[in-house]
Amino acid sequence: MSNDAATHKLWGGRFAGGPSPLLDAINRSIGTDFRLWPHDIRLSRAWALALAKAGVFTMDEADALRSGLDRVAARIADGAQPIATDEDIHTMIDRLLHEEAGTVASKLHTGRSRNDQVATASRLWTMDACRKLDVAIRELQQALLTQAEQIADAILPAYTHLQRAQPVSGAHWLLAHFWPLERDRARLANALRGTSTLPLGSGAIAGSAFPVPRDVLRDELDFLAISPNSIDATGDRDFVAETMFVCTMVAVHCSRIAEDMIIYGSSEFGFIKFGDGFSTGSSMMPQKRNPDVFELARGGGARVLGDLVSLLGTIKGLPSGYSKDLQDDKRAMFNAVDLLHLVLPSMAGAIGELRFNRERMRGAVSSAMMATDLADYLVKKGATFREAHGAVGSLVRQAEEAGIEMTELPAAAFSTAHALFGDDARDALGAEASLAARNIAGGTGPEAVRVQIAQAHAALAAHAL
């Protein structure tokens, strides 16, 4: 058996001597692509059926191969490991299939290449990864939505340029992170559709010379379409780039959520308190509660972005057809997806543990944040917004110079700033009134937020990928 293993490579007949150990070292990818094994088994079972339908061998032989592949799958699931001569998972499965099915295993590779085999296994893995990522994103969305409902009536500042801007409801702030993730889910669905094109049957580059029914392969493997061009099919990694772009956007959005939580959880803000389950302490300072989950999520965004750039840099200079550079596509993809499967559930858990300090949030809302509402008051009285902006700006300056809230300015200051200011002008400086005035669709008004929460529930109730 050792001699068979030593000569089991799927290539090499035209070489007089064996490869250099250095070539074996750089060429060996089974440490990365081992996880493709369930998909390689599945596509090989489908290929056996297609070859039988093409008349390449009998249905009995196809059944023997499919049964043998099932036994190979059971062995790998039970812990079978590669040996030194298994350069990739496809070689390992071929070796084990010979052990399980005998010489008929040598017929399975008829009409196919590792080029279309790898492309098919990679697409199957990516399709599965898209569906699993969709579930993980939904769990993070659910955590945000649950907390949003709990603080729907809380008020806190919204920020532009990290400066206090206008008051918003707590739910409106949290749901501002829900909707980017919903867009990510839409992008993920598009990536899944783009991935679901069958390359098997394309051979190395020119297509299979045997009349394999590709529609049977498509249906057996649950693809939506069949690749129209064999050259493109074996060298195409657009599906990897598209999926990794979605991964990058998810990681970026997680990073932005994390940044808000880190800032708002600082002593200077004090809007939120981190739970014990997703916080760490300091090895020196006993009082510390560190938001490590959010910091690691923020850092992870850079790693996923690096994986995307690495992939794009690889494929941008390749000629048509397959090149071995593409072996690295899986490293980039696996790294990105693996990281998200750590970040997304840990973010969901950490957000679920958050406690919100409503008093601190409300206390950060100053009357100056309703300056726009005061300008709107004048506009409703007949002033132009330009003159209203100038009049309110002068009141803001007076309050700042005096070190007081705008509500503490004397009535004379208002009437001097603009003749249209009445005795009810100060009413426009209330945070609750500011929110109530913004019941426009998508706004932070109480009714608008109730509608938005219902929309978020509807989005999560829609079918997963």
Judged by DSSP in three states, 198 sits in strand
Confidence at residue 263, expressed as pLDDT on a 0 to 100 scale: 96
Residues in the chain: 465
Band of pLDDT at residue 154, cut at 50, 70 and 90: very high
Q: Render pLDDT for 349-372 as a digit per residue (tens, 0 to 9).
A: 999 999 999 999 999 999 999 999
Cα angle, residue 102 at apex, residues 98 and 104 outer, rounded to 5°: 95
The torsion of the CA quartet 195, 201, 207, 213, rounded to 10 degrees, works out to -120
Whole-number Å distance between alpha carbons of 291 and 405: 34
Interior/surface letters 319-331, b for 16+ CB within 10 angstroms, e for the rest: eeebeeebbebbb
Average pLDDT over residues 187-207: 97
Task: Tell whether the model's pLDDT for residue 405 goes beyond 80.
Answer: yes
Confidence at residue 345, expressed as pLDDT on a 0 to 100 scale: 97
Confidence at residue 1, expressed as pLDDT on a 0 to 100 scale: 38
Percent of the chain topping pLDDT 90:
86
Average pLDDT over residues 399-414: 94
Confidence at residue 327, expressed as pLDDT on a 0 to 100 scale: 86
Average pLDDT score, the chain: 93
Nearest partner of 43 among 109, 106, 88, judged by Cα: 109
Confidence at residue 316, expressed as pLDDT on a 0 to 100 scale: 92
Confidence at residue 5, expressed as pLDDT on a 0 to 100 scale: 45
pTM tops 0.85, yes or no: yes
Residue scoring higher pLDDT (21 or 362): 362
Band of pLDDT at residue 23, cut at 50, 70 and 90: low
β-bridge partners, 198: 226
Active-site amino acid positions: 161, 282
Q: Render pLDDT for 283-298 as a digit per residue (tens, 0 to 9).
A: 777 677 788 999 999 9
Whole-number Å distance between alpha carbons of 177 and 148: 10
Q: In which residue are the tokens 């910091």 written?
A: 295
β-bridge partners, 155: 169
* Highest CATH level, class, for 115-363: mainly alpha
Q: In which residue are the tokens 């690295």 written?
A: 328
Confidence at residue 26, expressed as pLDDT on a 0 to 100 scale: 67
Band of pLDDT at residue 2, cut at 50, 70 and 90: very low
> For 74-78, 282-286, 329-333, which range has the lowest pLDDT when averaged over its residues?
282-286
Average pLDDT over residues 421-436: 94
The radius of gyration computed from the CA coordinates of the chain, to the nearest angstrom, equals 31
Task: Give the amino acid at 291.
Answer: P
Contact (CB, 8 A) for 200 and 46:
yes
Average pLDDT over residues 339-353: 96
DSSP H helical segments within 18-169, as ranges?
A: 21-27, 30-33, 37-53, 59-77, 89-101, 114-150
DSSP category for residue 141:
H
Task: Tell whether the model's pLDDT for residue 3 goes beyond 50.
Answer: no
> For 7-21, 35-49, 282-296, which range has the lowest pLDDT when averaged over its residues?
7-21
Average pLDDT over residues 222-245: 97
**Residue 81's Cα: distance from chain center in Å?**
31
Q: Render pLDDT for 105-141 as a digit per residue (tens, 0 to 9).
A: 999 999 999 999 999 999 999 999 999 999 999 999 9
Would you list the domain boundaries of the chain? 2-110, 115-363
DSSP 170-197: HHHHHHHHHHHHHHHHHHHHHHHHHH-E
CATH no., domain 2-110: 1.10.275.10
Contact (CB, 8 A) for 320 and 232:
yes
Average pLDDT over residues 190-215: 97
Contact (CB, 8 A) for 151 and 174:
yes
Band of pLDDT at residue 24, cut at 50, 70 and 90: low
Confidence at residue 30, expressed as pLDDT on a 0 to 100 scale: 85
